[in-house]
Structure 1
């Protein structure tokens, strides 16, 4: 099973934190994007095994990006990230096709648990 991951977050610091957690656990970060529009382009270009994506981003938010990625690839595996108190958005993201969600601030164990559950 593949281990290539695309990270999507408008905050470079958050992308760096996720990248560190993933690489320390044997996953490969094959790309990064800072908004949902770029995420769709990168998804089509790189065909990652998993996308970890923030909900709140400029231009195209994570929920819209999930819908667009899933339209291109109905089997896309996406984990959403959200800050505390965004439960309604998390539910909307799951309904849009996300497989799981992680709450910020990240706990490394929770990130890896979610990733393992979806791609092993």
Structure 2
């Protein structure tokens, strides 16, 4: 386990283009400590693990490798009740909700800070609507997996969303089983 945590710290440090010296300085530890963590010769204590997770904006579960099967999800809908319903369904089925937004611009801001395996996206929202948000997401993150979740059941709209890159389309009102089925196949 030490070596897996060390590899994760190393990858996170490299993703920020940091030296061991810079990371040590940021965390208030010696360069030797960072080197020992990255080689698996020692583990950071629990407080330092939390500090490292906060510094790199990841969960401690992710740092410890305990989230391998959890899909990270962002939910975008202007109706709080719908967001809460989706959160309950998804979290109850092993997903980690890493963000939620009420419109497309908020989604784009979240994606600058957080990685997601899956995005649930409504169409009719104030500000940036779901179709425009989908276009922007697919342009900036071409591998993104987006499930459109909307009350709009028009075949043309559904086809258009799929053409723009949506991985799936679910109409409201949705059934929890339908949500989980889509999550499991995407």
TM-score by length of structure 1 reads 0.93
Q: Are 1:45 and 2:148 an aligned pair? A: no
CA contact (8 A) 2:70 2:94 kept: no
Residue 25 and residue 54 in structure 1: after superposition, are their counterparts in 2 closer, same or farther (change >3 A)? same
What SS does structure 1 have at the residue aligned with 2:125?
coil
Segments of structure 2 that go 5 or more residues without pairing to the other structure are 1-68
Q: Are 1:88 and 2:156 an aligned pair? A: yes
Match of 1:6 among 41, 49, 74: 74
Aligned partners of 2:172 and 2:155: how far apart in 1?
12
CA contact (8 A) 1:10 1:35 kept: yes
Bigger Rg, which one:
2
Residue 70 and residue 84 in structure 1: after superposition, are their counterparts in 2 closer, same or farther (change >3 A)? closer
1:54: which partner in 2? 122
2:181: which partner in 1? 113
Higher strand share: 1
Q: Per chain length, whose mean CA-contact separation is higher, i.e. which structure has more relative contact order (CA < 8 Å, sep 6+)?
A: 1
1:8-23 matches, within 5 Å, as 8-23=76-91
Higher helix share: 2
CA contact (8 A) 1:8 1:51 kept: yes
Number of residue-to-residue matches in the alignment: 118
Aligned partners of 1:84 and 1:38: how far apart in 2?
21
Aligned partners of 2:141 and 2:174: how far apart in 1?
27
2:143: which partner in 1? 75
- Following superposition, which runs of at least 4 residues in structure 1 exceed 3 angstroms of deviation? none
Residue 35 and residue 72 in structure 1: after superposition, are their counterparts in 2 closer, same or farther (change >3 A)? same
Aligned partners of 2:153 and 2:165: how far apart in 1?
20
CA contact (8 A) 1:55 1:89 kept: no
- Structure 1 vs Structure 2 CA RMSD: 1.2
2:62: which partner in 1? none
1:2 Cα shift?
5.1
